[in-house]
Amino acid sequence: MNIRIKPEAEKALKGGRPVVALESTIISHGMPYPQNVQTAMQVEKIVRDHGGVPVTIGIIDGVGVVGMSEEEIEEFGRRGMSIPKVSRRDLPVVFAERSWGATTVATTMILAAKAGVEFFVTGGIGGVHRGAETTFDVSADLEELARTNVTVICAGAKAILDLPKTLEVLETKGVPVLGYQTSELPAFYTRTSGLKVDCCLKDAAHAAAVVRAKREFGLDGGILIANPIPEEYSMDPAAIQKVIDQALAEMDEKGIKGKECTPFLLAKVAEITEGRSLEANIRLVFNNAAVGTEIAKEYYR
């Protein structure tokens, strides 16, 4: 199997201790160097401070690395967008060619599940893109959530997406969408979307109990736990929507399609907001790392 697991994480998994997966696309495509490396290392520190073992996942020389070293994370940050984003369909080629790959939500889930890691913390998942009724542009993240046994803690789907359609697809796929201390789906940069989740989780113990119930019953597939961005970093919904509309219009003008859409839109939103959206993105990831690790601790308690 083309996987290398960090010995510390392997020992923790065998001992029933909480291990938390982290993705690498946020490093290579999420923000510029060296901020990307600093953020990645800070997220790992937060997981450790809350009693978990962090495993940042990426593909190096055709091997899925579950738990990259500091040096490997640094190299990911330096190479940046020259490392291609890798989804499920790309894995055979990347493995065969022994190349590098930045794992999306979908591939991070795949490699985490192969290693036996239940919990995965990220910023926001992909989903149904706006205009998907004509483009059929739907993220592979949704299909992975339907089939792979990993619990994903995030701040909802990225706000650049069609959130109502994303929820509809998740419902069709049988993926539980749970709000952490909220009854609404958070909208990434903002705490609310006006869309209801399947269940409001009271605390980490409640979340862990739901995950355990699904696993013990043998229901395959992921679980989505949506954790709102902290109030002090939440952006004004009307203002951020105006920015997103502007970024979408420019994307259409430039003819950008497929997996290049999300990196372009996030970068454009950060540019228009003069970095405020990027700061919000970083803060919500930090918050998700803390909450996700607490849930993992309760699960393995």
In SS3 terms, 171-185 reads as: HHCCCCEEEECCCEC
Residue 149, pLDDT score: 98
Rounded to whole angstroms, how far apart are CA atoms 22 and 153?
Answer: 10
Alpha carbon separation from 298 to 16, 20, 161, 203 (Å, rounded) = 11, 13, 32, 10
pLDDT-derived band at 12, boundaries 50, 70, 90: very high
- What b-and-e string marks burial along 178-203, b requiring 16 or more CB atoms within 10 Å of the CB? bbbebebbbbbbbbebebebbeebee
Evaluate if residue 231 carries a pLDDT over 80.
Answer: yes
Matching fold, domains 1-117 and 120-301: yes
Which of 45-54, 81-90, 202-211, 255-264 has the least mean pLDDT?
Answer: 255-264
Residue, of 258 and 26, whose pLDDT is higher: 26
Model confidence pLDDT, tens digit, residues 27-76: 999 888 999 999 999 999 999 999 999 999 999 999 999 999 999 999 99
pLDDT-derived band at 3, boundaries 50, 70, 90: very high
Residue 275, pLDDT score: 86
Range from 192-196, 238-242, 243-247, 267-271 that averages highest in pLDDT? 192-196
Evaluate if residue 289 carries a pLDDT over 80.
Answer: yes
Model confidence pLDDT, tens digit, residues 80-137: 999 999 999 999 999 999 999 999 999 999 999 999 999 999 999 999 988 888 889 8
Mean pLDDT of 158-169: 93
Question: Which sequence spans correspond to the domains of the chain?
Answer: 1-117, 120-301
The one-character DSSP state at 13 is H
Residue 197, pLDDT score: 98
Rounded to whole angstroms, how far apart are CA atoms 231 and 224?
Answer: 21
Which of 10-14, 146-150, 165-169, 238-242 has the least mean pLDDT?
Answer: 238-242
Mean pLDDT of 139-160: 95
* Mean pLDDT across the chain: 95
Residue 270, pLDDT score: 85
Determine the 3-state secondary structure of 269 from DSSP.
helix
Residue linked to tokens 């889930």: 109
Evaluate if residue 1 carries a pLDDT over 70.
Answer: no
DSSP β-bridge partners for residue 55? 21
DSSP β-bridge partners for residue 60? 63
Can the peptide bond before residue 34 be classed as cis, meaning omega within 30 degrees of 0? yes
Taking each helix axis as running N to C, give the angle between helix 105-115 and helix 140-147, from 0 to 180 degrees, rounded to the nearest 10.
Answer: 20
Report the share of the chain in percent with pLDDT over 90: 82
- Homologous superfamily of 120-301 in CATH? Indigoidine synthase domain (3.40.1790.10)
In sequence order, which residues have a C-beta less than 8 Å from that of residue 232 and are 6 or more positions away? none
| Domain 1-117 coded CATH 3.60.150.10 | no
Secondary element (H or E) of residue 22: strand 19-22
Name the residues annotated as catalytic. Answer: 23, 158
